[in-house]
Amino acid sequence: MKNKDRLLPLFLTFLKIGAFTFGGGYAMIPLIQKEVTENRKWLSDEDILNIVAIAESTPGPIAINSATFVGYMTCGVMGSVAATLGVVLPAFIFIALISLLLQNIMDIQAVQYAFMGIRAGVLALVVKALISMYKQCPKNPVAYVIAGLAFAVSLLTDISILYVIIGCAVLGLVTSMVMKKKEAEAK
């Protein structure tokens, strides 16, 4: 197994991310990127961008998929297990506890305000993830058209996001093939 000495730090890193991030996977992306690339230097920003693209394209929650892929790239199969358990465990414990108390605390005004504040913070994290991903994405007219189409289709229709992602992948592949063909003809 590669990087066996990273298993515990990997587990603890994703345990921290899972415990202190509210709002789901998109809110976790900036934290994963900061911990994995800046603080730990396990992977590059480009690796994280690729992981997020793959995690978003595969079935399941993006946070769990991202943790699994980061774990695998860092420590192989055992790294996948460690990172996935780390990111899932806090939510599992929190949901189990909160489900016991939820009926009793949702009517408390302070709890309602806390959730309102959490939602605002989550929105900020999602916007930060969007900006970070935008900086890493290719910037060309085709990429902008594909992004605009995906946004419009997901906003204005009831088409499943899965089909939007598949459509984007097909458009990207077709564009790549056309551009390679034009380059080959130019030579």
Are both 118 and 27 inside the same structural domain? yes
Task: Please compute, for residue 14, the number of CA atoms within 13 A of its CA located in the half-sphere on the CB side.
Answer: 27
Are both 32 and 97 inside the same structural domain? yes
Domain that holds residue 157: 139-187
User: Which pTM does this prediction carry?
Assistant: 0.57
Q: How far apart are CA 13 and CA 86, in angstroms?
A: 7
Are both 75 and 127 inside the same structural domain? yes
Are both 126 and 61 inside the same structural domain? yes
Q: What is the pLDDT of residues 123-180, one digit of tens each?
A: 888 888 788 878 877 778 888 888 889 989 998 999 998 899 899 889 988 988 988 8
Radius of gyration of the chain (CA): 19
More confident residue, 136 or 51: 51
Are both 89 and 114 inside the same structural domain? yes
By CB neighbour count within 10 A (0-12 exposed, 13-18 middle, 19+ buried), where does 74 fall?
buried
Give backbone dihedrals phi and psi of 22, rounded to 5 degrees, phi first: -110, 145
Total domains, the chain = 2
